[in-house]
Structures are given as C-alpha cells and as structure tokens.
Amino acid sequence: MARVLIVEARFYDHLNDLLLAGARAAIAAAGHSHETITVPGALEVPGAIALAADQYDAFVAIGVVIRGETYHFEIVAGESARALMALTLDGLAIGNGILTTEDEAQALTRARPTEKDKGGEAAKAALAMLALKDKFAR
C-alpha cells in the first residue's frame, strides 16, 4: 500500500472540495492511504512536495487558478506547472490536479467527480507514475 500526500492550494473552497473528493475516492479505490495538507497557494504546492519527498510514495497537487485581469494568472499557472514538472523529472510520482481556467464554470466542469473529475484523474496519474517508478527501480 502506497502513502500518498495530497497537497492542496485552498483558495476556492467549493472547487477544492470537489477536487479533493475525486482524488480521495481514486486513491481509496486503488487501495492506498492518503493525507492532505494545505498550502497558501498554487506556487507553494511544489515546495511542499519537495519538503515531503522522502516521506511519501506519491503526490497529488490540487488547486484552482482562474484567470483574472492581470498577468498574475500566467505566472502562477506557468510556474507551478514548471516546478511540478521539475520534481517529476527528479523522480517523484506526481499527479497535477491544479486547474487553470478562464472562469468558474470551466473550473466546476473540470472539478466535479461526476464530470471531468480532474482530482481523481490527478490521483490516478500519480499512482500510474508510482507504478512506473517501481517498475524501473533498481
């Protein structure tokens, strides 16, 4: 049984609740355990994962970034994704469930477990990467 850490940037409570429900259900369905921690924002998610890298087998990044009126959206969306990708290239099993959307309607569609279930998909991706990591471990 793998230990999975869900790291959530909790800003939109109702959207995060949907993402978390999907992620937790997917992890439980696969027979693994999980814990959840909250960080201030999407930019802090990769740092938290890096800090916990030797304590968990896989990680699920959860959060929602909705485009606003400033360039801040591009920075947060791009840099959080870039940092998560760097951690995966270092060998961590991570599923990226940080939504980057134009508006709340898009986020709701992607977050709902009954629709796109991006929280569940991120958890499944993390577990798939963990299986690959285990396959190629020497």
Q: Which positions are catalytic?
A: 72
φ/ψ region of 16 (left if φ > 0, alpha if ψ in -120 to 50, else beta) reads alpha
Buried b (16+ CB within 10 A) or exposed e, 110-130: bbbbeebbbbbbbbbbbbebb
Cα three-residue angle 8-12-18, rounded to 5 degrees: 70
**Helix (H, G, I), strand (E, B), or coil: what is residue 113?**
coil
Whole-number Å distance between alpha carbons of 7 and 87? 14
Main-chain dihedrals φ then ψ at residue 117, nearest 5 degrees? 50, 55
